[in-house]
Amino acid sequence: MLFNDRLQEALHRAKRRGTQVALLFFDLDGFKQVNDTLGHPTGDRLLQWVAQVARGAIRDMDTVARLGGDEFAVLVEDIDTPVGAAAVAQRLLESLGQPFADGERQIATSASIGISLYPNDGLDPDTLFKAADMAMYRAKAGGRNRFEFFASDLGTTAAAIFTKTAWMRQALEHDGFVLHYQPTVRLQDG
């Protein structure tokens, strides 16, 4: 994958220079609804528009790539502080917040963006992608059309949820749950 190669090269340069790299991972809010209601050809045109808009919202030296479906990634090199990554994310949100004109139809668009930073959030592409993905889902949970930075508690929370889910699945398979009824009684009525 070309984007992963560019990300790996950027990480090597950042290590030599002592700079940071930001990975922004985003998808469109409500894209499935566009495909389901307006059809896949409209969804495909929307994705092409998103790629163009995203390209226009970043610096020439940065890279944007569609990863699949409605998921995109942006590689931002040579940033000094997280504020630089936040500025790029804000420009993306503003640009993608413009309606997409499909013929005479205007389609409202927005995105949720997760941001991970090298070296703070990971030292390799896989770790940075996982961190940015978790941050993106936090942005979606927080109301969409926003960005979130990765925070280490996201990884802890995800691991805890995974562990609890596995425990519950095992308990269900082995009849580990027992149903107890608790009557609701008001003191006045007995």
List, in order, residues 6 or more apart from 132 with CB less than 8 Å away: 23, 24, 25, 73, 114, 115, 116, 121, 150
> Which of the residues 62, 70, 121, 133 is marked catalytic?
70
Model confidence over 113-165: pLDDT tens digits?
999 999 999 999 999 999 999 999 999 998 889 999 999 765 445 555 555 66
Cα gap 119→14, rounded to integer Å: 9
The pLDDT assigned to 98 comes to 94
Alpha helices in 18-124 (DSSP H): 31-38, 40-57, 82-96
List the chain domain ranges: 2-151
Q: Return the pLDDT at 153.
A: 67
Per-residue confidence (pLDDT) for residue 152, from 0 to 100:
76
pLDDT digit string, tens, across residues 47-91: 999 999 999 999 999 999 999 999 999 999 998 889 999 999 999
What is the reported pLDDT for 189?
73
pLDDT band at 27 (very low <50, low <70, confident <90, very high): very high
Whole-number mean pLDDT of the chain?
89
User: Is 70 noted as a catalytic residue in this protein?
Assistant: yes
**What superfamily in CATH does domain 2-151 come from?**
Reverse transcriptase/Diguanylate cyclase domain (3.30.70.270)
